[in-house]
Amino acid sequence: MRASKKKVISQKPAIRKVVFIISFKHSGSTLLGFLLGANKDCFNLGEFTKAKERQKTLSKKCLVCDNYCKLWAAFKRNLKTTTKRHLYEAAFETFKKPILIDTSRKWAWVKSASSRINCESKIIFLTRNERDRLSFHQRFGDGITRAIVERQARGVTRTKRWLKNRKYLQVKYENVCNKNALKRCCKFIGIEYDEKMFRYWETLQHALEGNSRTASLMKKWHNLSIGNPTALKFIEEHGLKVKAIKSKEKWTKKEKKVFTKYGGANANKLLGYKEDGLAKKKPVMEKLVKKKPISYKKHMKRVFKVAHRIKINKQAKKIAKTKKECEKYVKMIRKQ
């Protein structure tokens, strides 16, 4: 009896937690997910928001399985057993790990998800230099335009605003391959740091969705076929290595100006990146975000005011002969 009691105490399960990675596109959230997912206590879900969006096709593919994924098929079955069960509950039951890593990125998803889970949650805010992120648009032929810069900058301000009164750990993508940064993440989550995490490809991680190029390193190590030609090229260029990629794209003078003028530089500063060429004028980004929509009543008041002014001006033009007389008339009526 005594022996069995001792056994129970030593096998005390680790505390359940969900780790959310909040980030932006092209910031390395898939990579950080894999690094953390290589820990023995963690399961990397990938972009778990997709579990809600594509419930019917869940078992069809994950980042390492192309036609059928056993794990996600089991998850789908678990999800069906009780209709009211929350996604994370089913994930804990299926993947049997105390810590789940969710790389869905968007704060709105984290907001709604964290209010429904009944366990502890942690937020890691992964950022990347906005210039490098924008270089992706340039590479794919969109170029760096005002609309793109403004959209990105708005995303940064909104996310920062949501995070303002919350506890989170910011990690820069540029430091992801740094041991200390990963150690800080582990300490924050409450897991043991393991050197093995830097060789994430050795653990086959069935993350639901994310960057297929980052996942292809696992496919390569486990001798699975890599169909995607861009992923093949990526492995050829970088090999099995954890590396923060710096953009080599060169910007034109005009693009640099657009970036500074429309809030890109300010967004970078907000994220803690060095920026010298900040816009002198009040940035457009701030104006756009701060501008609150006016009420319908206020809007109609403005419309009537303008209409009234036009009416007076028309009247004045009819009555008055000279410009001076006309101005006098308008002033007089307005005073009444």
Only one residue has tokens 């969705």, namely 209
- What's the one-letter identity of residue 199? R
Tokens linked to 232: 């093949």
The C-alpha atoms of residue 176 and residue 244 are separated, in whole angstroms, by 7
* Nearest to Zn ion of 26, 206 (CB atom): 206
Which residues are at the interface with Zn ion (CB under 5 A)? 62, 65, 69, 206
Q: Residue length, the chain?
A: 336
Q: Cβ 69 to Zn ion, closest distance in Å?
A: 3
Q: Cβ 198 to Zn ion, closest distance in Å?
A: 22
Q: Cβ 295 to Zn ion, closest distance in Å?
A: 51
Strands 169-172 and 42-46: unpaired
* Nearest to Zn ion of 73, 333 (CB atom): 73
Q: Cβ 207 to Zn ion, closest distance in Å?
A: 8
The C-alpha atoms of residue 21 and residue 40 are separated, in whole angstroms, by 19
* Nearest to Zn ion of 60, 257 (CB atom): 60
Q: Cβ 45 to Zn ion, closest distance in Å?
A: 12
Q: Cβ 206 to Zn ion, closest distance in Å?
A: 3
Angle at 104 between CA 222 and CA 19, to 5 degrees: 85
Q: Cβ 71 to Zn ion, closest distance in Å?
A: 5
Q: Cβ 6 to Zn ion, closest distance in Å?
A: 37
* Nearest to Zn ion of 51, 65 (CB atom): 65
* Nearest to Zn ion of 36, 208 (CB atom): 208
